[in-house]
Structure formats: structure tokens, C-alpha cells
Amino acid sequence: MRVLITGAGGPSAVSVWKSLADDHDLFLADMDPDSPGLYLVPASRRFLIPGGEDPALVPALLELCRAHSIEVLISTVDAELAPLAEADAAFAAIGTRVPLSPAPVLRRCRDKWALLSHLSGNPAVPYCVALTADSLPTITKFPCFAKPRAGSGSRGIAMIGSSEDLAALPQDGSYLVQELLPGPEFSVDVYVSQHGELVAAVPRERIRTDSGIAITARTVHMAELMESATTIALAVGVRFVANVQFKQASDGRYKLLEINPRFPGSLPLTVAAGVDVPRLLMDDLQGKPLPPGPMEFREILMVRYWTEKYLDPSEWQALCRR
């Protein structure tokens, strides 16, 4: 199939490319000509597109998909997800599938406060409050943790040791304050078919991270996390791919951090463990039978290191001029 992957500057897009490059015709797109993933495909299959918040994004992608007969559009950029899902009918009209959760689900996942509020009552939901002038006096247990309601990676996070630290943050509801979760962090790669059937739930321990991306990690058989991630993903309404993140609380329980309803950056580890999520997606879209879930996987450790690709500077210059 002819597949366009956006977010070529990030590890998620490169991870999808690794799984699908041998069996499908891949095209890559990003807003930045310096994005490394663009240069994994021939020059005729590299595209510059507007950013995820730009209203011109969807029209630009519709035109790209129409002009190049793209059959599947895979977005790996958080800001792109909901706008693309809302335009699903327009893409379908030109023969392009956009395998995403419904737009309301994507918007809920992007807003961590909305997500945790939706799951209120689930034992995996940590204590959490939106920081406002009214809620500020109610936060009395320190240390605690603060993070933006919308964001990714480690941007904007803060350890809060006192009321003075708390008062320095915006009090307009844009930040969340939650209980400190001091234990190890886990991500569960979940695949739910287009018909709502669980196919896979693979926990990964994020042993060491750099800029929010795991560089040392391992898959682990943890029934508690598999069950919790599955229950949460289905309750939220996730379809296709999602990455459900947890951290261990001081009482030993695992609490929900967030849901990323897209391919994760550490996807190659899950693939190496025996669950090739991009291939599951392609089989699902083509109506092929999927394995009964949850799929078996093996425990394996991953470490990451830099690698290089060399090319003529003229290729980069040509893309910069577009």
C-alpha cells in the first residue's frame, strides 16, 4: 500500500518506517527540512507540510494524498491527530484511510485533566487538580508534581517542594498538580482493532530516558499493567494504536500518567518482542484476520545509540527551497 507518515523528525515516524518499509511504498512528511526521517526515502517521496496547529495542515495533506494516491495516512504528531480525525470523511472521499481514534477521544487524551476526569473512579487515576487561584489553597501535601494539561515529552514539568514553588506556576487552569509518583515508569503499547477488539497490550519499563524518549527499556510480563491499560483504553474509546503510560505510587500501585493515541517512539522494542504494531494496523485496514488478544510477547531489553546517514547536500538544499 502507499503510506504517508507525518512527523518525520521524531522517533515515532522512524519506528513505523522500520516496520513497513520492506512491504509498502512509504512517503514521509514534516514541517522542518532538517528532519532526519525525511531522508530515509527517495527525494520524490519527501514532503514539507504545515505544522499541526496550522489551519493549512489538513488541506495540504488532502492535496498530497490526492496527488500521490496515498491509501493510508499515519500521523505521529499529537497536534495533528484531532484535526485529521475530524477530516476523516474528506480523506475517505479521495480513497485515503486515516486510522485514528474518534476526534472526541483524541481531544480528551490531549487534555490530561479532561482524561483523568473522564476516568474518575478508576483506581489507577492519581490524585490530581487543575491549578487555579481557587484550588491553590487546597494543595497542602508536598512534595508533589506539576505539568501542563497539554504537552508531550518532559516539557514544562516541575517538582513542587513548597507552596512558594506552587505559587510561581500559572494559576489559569493550564497546569495540573498531582500526587508524587516516585516509582519506576511503564508504558503499555495497546492495539485495539477498528471493531473495538483488544489485540495487544505490551508493558515496557522506561529505565532511562532522554528528552522524554526511552533510550534504555525492557518489555515485562505484568498482568496488572496489561489489565489496567486495557480497561482504560477501552473505557476512553481508543481505536487502533495507543500508548498508555503509568508510574508507580508510594503504595506500590501503578497510576495513570497519560494516553498517547499514536505510535510511540520506543515502538521498535515492542516489535522486537514479537508484536509488530504497524503490521497489525495494516492487516486491520486490509481486513485480514488479527491474532486473538492479548498477543504473546517475550521479555527483551533495548538500548539505543546514535547512527548516521550520509547524503549529498544538494538533497537537503532542494527540500529547503520547496
Contact by Cβ (8 Å): 183, 201: no
Q: Name the 3-class secondary structure at 199.
A: strand
Instruction: Give the closest residue to 178 by CA, choosing from 131, 227, 240.
Output: 131
- Tell me the C-alpha distance between 199 and 296, whole Å: 10
Q: Name the 3-class secondary structure at 172.
A: strand
Per DSSP, the chain holds a count of helices (H) and strands (E) of 11, 14
What is the sign of the dihedral through the CA atoms of 229, 99, 2 and 47?
negative
Q: Can you give the pTM of this predicted structure?
A: 0.91
Q: Name the 3-class secondary structure at 174.
A: strand
What are the pLDDT tens digits along the chain (322 aa)?
999 999 999 999 999 999 999 999 999 999 999 999 999 999 999 999 999 999 999 999 999 999 999 999 999 999 999 999 999 999 999 999 999 999 999 999 999 999 999 998 899 999 888 898 888 888 888 898 898 988 665 677 888 888 888 888 888 888 989 888 999 999 999 999 999 999 999 999 999 988 778 899 999 999 999 999 999 999 999 999 999 999 999 899 999 999 999 999 999 999 999 999 999 999 999 999 999 989 999 999 999 988 888 999 999 999 998 7
Instruction: Give the closest residue to 207 by CA, choosing from 116, 314, 300.
Output: 300
Beta-carbon-side half-sphere exposure of residue 146 (alpha carbons within 13 Å) = 25
Phi/psi at 23 (nearest 5 deg)? -115, -10
